[in-house]
A and B are shown apart, each in its own frame.
Chain A
Amino acid sequence: QKEVEQDPGPLSVPEGAIVSLNCTYSNSAFQYFMWYRQYSRKGPELLMYTYSSGNKEDGRFTAQVDKSSKYISLFIRDSQPSDSATYLCAPGLYNFNKFYFGSGTKLNVKP
């Protein structure tokens, strides 16, 4: 079983839609939860970083963590064509040298 599972998509939505991106993970010890955004021909860049269950909001983006279900989500409100990218979830452990990544969900927001 993979440590982190993520639907690869692609997910295609019209501009202005609410987008929901999801990951499940197997290790109940994970302490922090990151989301990275990766544009084509670029490296991943940190989008959201949370370490507790519940919601964290940053502008149009909301990260949601449900530790009991081992389920993490990223919501994008009022999606824009500039949000078209691949989104990687990345749960992990502090003081642990290994990083885990989902395989990424490709999002296409159509004008």
Chain B
Amino acid sequence: EAQVTQNPRYLITVTGKKLTVTCSQNMNHEYMSWYRQDPGLGLRQIYYSMNVEVTDKGDVPEGYKVSRKEKRNFPLILESPSPNQTSLYFCASSTGSGQPQHFGDGTRLSIL
């Protein structure tokens, strides 16, 4: 089954404690992306990757890092989380830019 898998699905943590949200896709997609979804603001792109070792900033990259060492994986790293990063996060993949995206089921992060 084609899918994008995110872990964890839920996380409550404290300010400053580094965390990583993993994302893996099994569709051999080149393009992957991270979004955060906040009420009234919709989906906002954090970072994206066009292929292995190729990443770039989206609209709201501050406070986040990513890496793309393998085609299937695209982890999101919060080096020093802060309460304003409390949000619902989605990973997505597609065959390329401008193509329909497949989304994971989301990770709800609460930073206290």
Contacts and interface: CB of A to CB of B under 8 A. Distances in A.
B43 A42 contact: no
Interface residues on B, range: 20 to 34
A34 B100 contact: yes
Interface stretch (B13-21, B61-69, B76-84, B103-111): B103-111
Nearest to B38: A103
Interface string B30-51: 0101000000111101001010
Classify the secondary structure of B's interface with A.
strand
A88 B98 contact: no
Contact of B97 (A41, A49, A94): A94
A42 B97 contact: no
Contact of B50 (A42, A49, A97): A97
Q: Which of A99, A102, A104 has the most CB of B within 10 A?
A: A99
B43 to A, nearest CB: 4
13 contacts: A41-B106, A43-B4, A43-B92, A43-B104, A44-B90, A49-B100, A92-B98, A95-B97, A95-B98, A97-B97, A99-B33, A99-B101, A103-B40
Interface of B: 4, 31, 33, 40-43, 45, 48, 50, 56, 58-59, 90, 92, 97-98, 100-106
Q: In the A-B complex, list the 10 residue pairs whose CB atoms are closest, starting with the nearest.
A: A43-B103, A103-B42, A94-B98, A101-B43, A46-B100, A97-B97, A44-B103, A101-B42, A43-B105, A43-B104
Interface of A: 4, 6, 8, 31-32, 34, 41-46, 49, 88, 92-99, 101-104
